[in-house]
């Protein structure tokens, strides 16, 4: 069984199993979890918690991320369905931990939404570098935000409302998560090291947090904290990059003036954990990095076969 699809469908009401032997129910939300970091270097445990009306309905930790026998590969998907016709309001917490299921929390991403009716919707919650230090745990297993106020969650380093209109979510198709594949080692992936091999730092307008570029530009952050995908994980002085998704709230947008708008958190960290912003042009071998094109690596459920 693919480690991309983390578990069998989890019912949020009384019904515990499907009579049709694994077919997808019509009232379902598929949670897709991705990252722009390197596993297990940056984190090695994924925790997923789902609550309905304040009551815990699902809580699972997937360990050994990035190892030869991981609890999961990323991107990963989990389907949650309704047994009573849809419409239930749920709260989802996804967190990146280190060491074990009760270890320190690096990143927390939350969403409040509803199980859709008569369709299968896709909800993507990335665990990305710009939201580092956004969660903590007292050792009980539950995770609380350290960055955002109640009702908000971290997206690209900024606090935004965590309530998501389920009717605005796209229909689920595995190819939109796994680079055109099914999460079984098929599909495409984005090779960060190769695609930014000759990339040079670009000038950043820190007042507006923009750079020159166009709709074919790939953008990455060179970190000073050894976070991200490195040329050599074992060399603390090697270059480490975090690739940003094009056209995404978690990445960058091309403005009306033709300049690339970076997340404001990038400029807030230029004097701290970000050494430079680098760019490269998209090619046939290195298409533009987007949310549905995961990064390549031993942790990946896309573009690499399980060992």
Find residue 145's DSSP bridge partners.
135
pLDDT of residue 247: 94
More confident residue, 280 or 305: 280
pLDDT of residue 83: 77
| Domain identity same for 255 and 230 | yes
Residue range 123-164, pLDDT digits in tens? 999 999 999 999 998 766 788 999 999 999 999 999 999 999
| Domain identity same for 233 and 166 | no
Structural domains of the chain, count: 2
24-33 average pLDDT score: 84
Residue 303 included in any domain: no
| Domain identity same for 267 and 137 | no
Residue 306 included in any domain: no
| Domain identity same for 65 and 124 | yes
| Domain identity same for 157 and 231 | no
| Domain identity same for 87 and 208 | no
| Domain identity same for 24 and 169 | yes
| Domain identity same for 29 and 172 | yes
Residue 291 included in any domain: no
pLDDT of residue 185: 83
Residue 166 included in any domain: yes
pLDDT > 80? residue 202: yes
pLDDT > 50? residue 263: yes
213-238 average pLDDT score: 92
pLDDT-based confidence at residue 260 (cuts at 50, 70, 90):
very high
pLDDT of residue 277: 97
pLDDT-based confidence at residue 39 (cuts at 50, 70, 90):
very high
pLDDT of residue 257: 87
207-211 average pLDDT score: 96
pLDDT of residue 16: 27
Residue range 55-108, pLDDT digits in tens? 888 999 999 999 989 999 999 999 998 877 778 899 999 999 998 888 899 999
Its domain, for residue 212, covers 192-281
| Domain identity same for 97 and 200 | no
At 159, which CATH number?
A: 2.60.40.10
Torsion sign, CA atoms 41, 293, 208, 107: negative
pLDDT-based confidence at residue 304 (cuts at 50, 70, 90):
low
| Domain identity same for 30 and 150 | yes
| Domain identity same for 199 and 139 | no
| Domain identity same for 119 and 199 | no
Mean pLDDT (the chain) is: 88
Residue 297 included in any domain: no
């Amino acid at each position: 069984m693919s480690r991309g699809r983390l578990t069998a469908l989890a019912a949020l009401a009384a019904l515990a199993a499907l009579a049709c032997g694994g077919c997808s129910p019509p009232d379902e939300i598929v949670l897709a979890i991705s990252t722009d970091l390197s596993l297990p270097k940056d984190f090695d445990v994924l925790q997923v918690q789902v609550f309905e009306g304040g009551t815990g309905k699902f809580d699972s930790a997937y360990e050994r991320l990035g190892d030869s026998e991981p609890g999961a590969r990323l991107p990963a998907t989990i389907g949650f369905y309704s047994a009573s016709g849809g419409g239930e309001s749920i709260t989802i917490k996804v967190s990146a931990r280190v060491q074990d299921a009760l270890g320190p929390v690096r990143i927390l991403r939350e969403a409040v939404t509803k199980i859709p009716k008569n369709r299968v919707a896709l909800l993507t919650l990335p665990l990305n570098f710009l939201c580092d230090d956004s969660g903590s745990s007292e050792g009980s297993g539950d995770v609380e935000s350290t960055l955002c106020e109640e009702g908000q969650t971290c997206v690209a380093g900024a606090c935004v409302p965590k309530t998501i209109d389920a009717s605005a979510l796209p229909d689920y198709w595995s190819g939109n998560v796994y680079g055109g594949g099914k999460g079984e080692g098929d599909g495409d992936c984005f090779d960060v090291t190769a695609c930014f091999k000759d990339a040079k730092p670009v000038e950043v307008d820190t007042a507006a947090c923009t750079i020159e570029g166009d709709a074919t530009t790939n953008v990455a952050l060179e970190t000073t904290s050894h976070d991200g995908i490195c040329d050599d994980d074992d060399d603390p002085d090697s270059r480490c990059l975090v690739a940003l998704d094009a056209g995404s709230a978690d990445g960058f947008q091309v403005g009306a003036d033709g300049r690339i708008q970076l997340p404001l958190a990038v400029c807030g960290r230029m004097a701290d954990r970000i050494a430079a912003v680098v760019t490269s042009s998209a090619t046939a071998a290195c298409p533009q990095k987007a949310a549905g094109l995961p990064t390549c690596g031993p942790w990946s459920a896309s573009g690499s076969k399980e060992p």
